[in-house]
Amino acid sequence: MSSAFSAVYARDLRLALRRRVEALLPVVFFIVAVSLFPLGVGPEPQTLRQIAAGVVWVSALLASMLSVTSLYTGDYADGSLEQMVLSGHSGFEIAAAKAAAHWSITGAPLVLAAPLIGLLLDMSASALGTLVISLLLGTPILSLLGGLGAALTLGLRSAGVLLILLILPLAIPTLIFGAGAVGAVDAGQSAAGHFSLLGALLILTALTAPLATSFALHIALE
Amino acid sequence: MNQPIRWFTFAAPSRFYALVNALNPWLWAIALLLAIAALYIGFLVAPTDATQGDSYRIIFIHVPAAWMSMVLYLAMAFWAAIGWMFNARMASMLARALAPTGALFTFLALWTGSFWGKPTWGTWWVWDARLTSELILLFLYLGFIALVSSIDDMVRGDKAGAVLALVGVINIPIIYFSVRWWNTLHQGATISMTAAPKMAQTMLLAMLLMTFAFWAYAFAVVFTRAQALALEREHDAEWVRALRTKGKELQ
């Protein structure tokens, strides 16, 4: 791993540790959003079990998108983003490090909180395990795509809503295979196919999204 | 005499403007005539369908609109990419001009599909793979329009739109197949649109005529919109000033 990647990554983690409450907000949003569903849909365990995987996945998706808006804004406002891009290190590395840091700060806590949330929705143990693995493979994709959206909407007035409008259609395959893995296990099938597809999506996104993000950063800073 | 082909003649906004002025009356005439012919054949000549009765006749608008919605997205991404790579002003303007027409056709395909679904399937909407991916295509169009229109800096808007359109093009097949697999796994929609019976010659003819009418309409509208964008962006340029003085003399 190159020095630029680890430097940006470590810096973002350190910044997040200095503002712990802020870093925890996405997980809190995630938990609150999921617990609204039983109140809206009704408390019948049968219904909840059926919609659980989808609810958890959609809430995780929204939590990632809401938190990724601020991924570049701070650095953009104080000029350090410009310095990073001008430093001569590849934009690919910087974008990848930023997305990795976002995943470590928001994605990983979502994965850790998911089993607890699943219990609230009466999910079975095997479904919970599948849910965690699918989120583990899927949330990095969301961070990578979100980073692209954040770079495209950098400095715009309505960046938050715009980012969600841009990125949600692109995140649909991740949602389908992520929630589909749990559905397959519930139906007595193997989730291996879904995991393979999620893994393939992760590899493809990891190879292409940072590149597009670095283009978008250059465009925004021109 | 072997003259080299001048590919970039109409990349200059002034020449493009003049070209569109010459082309547009023809395009509108073609669009109107073909649409009237297609509607005549589709509604009066084509036979009534054995199973669906007359309700199937919306196919003559529905299918061409769906075709256009997909082709126009590719065209938009293509011109956005050309504009980004070669710094071609007119190409970026064309990409911007294509987006609303593409979104319109996508909406038209969904709307007519809904009207068709009610009498034949008994419901306005099913989460069928094709319907769902067409809906996602509409979201992609709306995202592009929203992004380019909320960036005040023109050049940045063009380039950011190009990145988004290209990412969308890569994702469209992935989205389409994922939605198809999702649909088969859920086994939700029991009715399939793919079981269309073999079409009569007249029906195919009406559909093709309507497709060409839509093509001519799309060209005309997109060109006019691109003209307006060119006037707006180049309002200080010599050729726009010349147009302005000519307009004043005519008054």
Higher-confidence position of B172 and A216? A216
As a whole number, mean pLDDT of residues B1-18 equals 77
Give the whole-angstrom CA distance, residue B46 versus residue B58: 12
For A93-138, the pLDDT digits (tens) are 999 999 999 999 999 999 999 999 999 898 889 999 999 999 999 9
User: Any residues with CB less than 8 A from the CB of B169 and at least 6 apart, and which?
Assistant: B73, B74, B77
Residue B27 near residue B223 (C-beta atoms within 8 A): yes
Give chain B's mean pLDDT.
85
ipTM of the complex: 0.88
What residues of A are in contact with residue B164 (Cβ under 8 Å)?
152, 166
For A138-151, the pLDDT digits (tens) are 999 999 999 999 99
Rounded to 5 degrees, φ, ψ at B233 are: -75, -30
Give the whole-angstrom CA distance, residue A173 versus residue B171: 9
Q: What is the CA radius of gyration of chain B?
A: 21
pLDDT value, residue B189: 44
Boundaries of every domain in chain B: 32-46+58-190+199-233
Rounded to 5 degrees, φ, ψ at B195 are: -85, 35
| Entry pTM | 0.88
- Choose the closest CB to B185 out of A170, A180, A216: A180
As a whole number, mean pLDDT of residues A25-51 equals 91
CB contact under 8 A, B150 and A162: yes
Say if residue A178's pLDDT is above 90: yes
| DSSP 8-state symbol, B137 | H
Q: How confident is the model at residue A189 (pLDDT cuts 50, 70, 90)?
A: confident
Residue A6 near residue A36 (C-beta atoms within 8 A): no
What residues of B are in contact with residue A162 (Cβ under 8 Å)?
146-147, 150
CB contact under 8 A, A176 and B160: no
Give the whole-angstrom CA distance, residue B39 versus residue B46: 10
Give the whole-angstrom CA distance, residue A191 versus residue A184: 6
Give the whole-angstrom CA distance, residue B58 versus residue B81: 35
For A193-209, the pLDDT digits (tens) are 899 999 999 999 999 99
Give the whole-angstrom CA distance, residue A216 versus residue B156: 9
Low-confidence winner among A48-57, B192-201, B242-251 (lowest mean pLDDT): B192-201
DSSP letters for B67-119:
HHHHHHHHHHHHHHHHHHHH--HHHHHHHHHHHHHHHHHHHHHHHHHHHHHHH
Is the CB of B156 inside 8 Å of chain A's CB atoms? yes
Boundaries of every domain in chain A: 3-221
For B174-228, the pLDDT digits (tens) are 888 888 777 766 544 444 455 455 566 788 888 899 999 999 999 999 999 999 9
- Choose the closest CB to A158 out of B150, B164, B182: B150
Is the CB of A58 inside 8 Å of chain B's CB atoms? no
What residues of B are in contact with residue A219 (Cβ under 8 Å)?
156, 159-160, 163
CB contact under 8 A, A156 and B151: yes
What residues of A are in contact with residue B159 (Cβ under 8 Å)?
219, 222
Rounded to 5 degrees, φ, ψ at B108 are: -60, -40
Say if residue B244's pLDDT is above 90: no
User: Any residues with CB less than 8 A from the CB of B136 and at least 6 apart, and which?
Assistant: A169, A172, B175, B179
How many Cβ contacts (< 8 angstroms) between chains A and B? 72
Give the whole-angstrom CA distance, residue B42 versus residue B45: 6
